[in-house]
Structure 1
């Protein structure tokens, strides 16, 4: 998709990538309406496969494969074209791919593997919906289920800290081998590699994978069309407003923090590297651990004004996804000129003045992109918020998750489609912003 002349590659990439912005639980729900016993394509065998450990693995693999695709595609598009052009003079396309492109893209693939592992390890909705007992579900059951035992939940969360520290060490080793311009949004105009006779088969494979990514969304739409949309006003409550408000506030805080920390990270400041490491640790730490920590910190009589309001959801979102804003803005700043800041510093301008008079105007599109990306991550969050959301303040993904067991199936599917439509609107805005930024 990034380097070859496959037909319709941009459209295929959009269809393939979109599901990664949705809660994986919604994709599992879509597959259920397709392959469950009462599904459109369902049978006894497909239902048994779906409600099994293998089913959890397959659903999560299809949900998170776009993460790998996107990060590797960004890395390939950021490679200096001179390497590729020089190789094409003396070697064929296969050798260019195996000797030049793949070695340069492997750090991005390793980073993608880290992100996928962190997201999959924290996932709560998919295994619980498919009735497969995994570690995060055991922690959740002791915080919000009939097995309520917060002391046991804290004990179960402790071993997960070791996993998080191991993931942080792996990410730090990757960070030492790459630069932000390489992993950023730098785009180079290159001639796609011609596939020749393989163009048709490669295009077929690409579109099969893209359609597989989009099938669960189609399953949700088909189920919701059976009278589900009429029940949305009665069942949605305040969850949509809760989602938009909490995610919007959290994304704004993330973008503001990302501006300061990301700028320092791009300029190589030691303090920013430490804060970035803390953000990475919060992201790779399983959501159950983060949830237990927030509950123990804020569930006190003196802090009920925070714990009993949307503020606790905002805090959870900022803690978990703060690194998204930091890394996005760092990538944008690293690609911009540093000379303007240096001249302003020599003229006596302080840090705040340089930041708001030079950095913000130059990188305003990068800031907007960071805000939109953080907004999408906060809107899709289920596994963090479900542990501590206040009564009546649940976001839309949590509302769907709690209604799934006893709510009307078509209405639950319609609520999921509302989540899809909201996410699609934000992703479309981000795509338009990116296209505008790439214009000369």
Structure 2
């Protein structure tokens, strides 16, 4: 049953305590058949909402009388798209919508104060890995249409915008990294890392500053692809269980050994000598065959008129695809909204196939709806399709607070593994010890 909370003054005072104690495990949104405890239903649903639940369906909710909405979204092309969505929504439902520019990075922090003060947006955009704290504090409503979204969106988009198995987000875009290749230099796109290494070895000449392959070898955001492909993982239970860390298991050690192979055979530079600017310059000057990079790197290469393509990351020697980290942008509904039905309907409308296709056309952002992968405009866009194909095997960055100490510890570990040829097992064991210490401090 939906829990679109009617925020009376009393509820506003206790919501954080109640939800922090209960977590998200008791939330069964949009599916009345799963809720059989009538006592619990009476405690979590207002009389007004009970009427709504009895007379509406998930697809045609009863909108609150005199509803009007405030939406926070990014500036630039995102703002253009958001205003278009607002206009179309108002035309269809006769509900006024105001769009304000509040960046996705700032929205979670702003909502912490503006939400309880009843000043926050009804619907706001946020990156999935910054939302966990808001959800644990009871500041975000569950997605009202979870079954529909789980069947129509990429698994990574659903996992990334869920906490404790409960879906909160309405995904608007997904991004990940993939393999850039220079079409003027590469005759056959490698299907495996072994093929990539062989082509790279033949091209690399350090004395002429020519390299077959590059990636940021001390950035765990990129390194996760290799680690995950070999069977390493950050946290257990789909990155929700911080007591189970898989960053020093057998697969993680294999990833460290593979990185040492890359250093020895194709990329004879220290980690400090490899950065985004160096890679971009080499690629533009036709002195780099392959680069692992993300959508943010496309514009500069297109402006420089580089003849390049994007493909999924080649498979590892175990036959598995590297599992790149992905980021999911999504709309979320403020739990303090006066109009939960209208706000949730707006988030659903904005993430419909039609609206997400328009978002792609306006901003080039990749839609996380699976059916849109078959849209001709996307299928015919080689660059976007390369990223989307990789996104289907991607893993969303963990969205729990315990992820904070992982970034630095793992980046430092792989720096030592790369630069000093340190023993991967010993180095990763030390990193996990450091991560556990950091998690302990967070939980004190």
> TM-score by structure 2 length?
0.27
Q: Normalising by the residue count of structure 1, what TM-score does the alignment of the two structures yield?
A: 0.27
More helix by share: 1
Higher strand share: 2
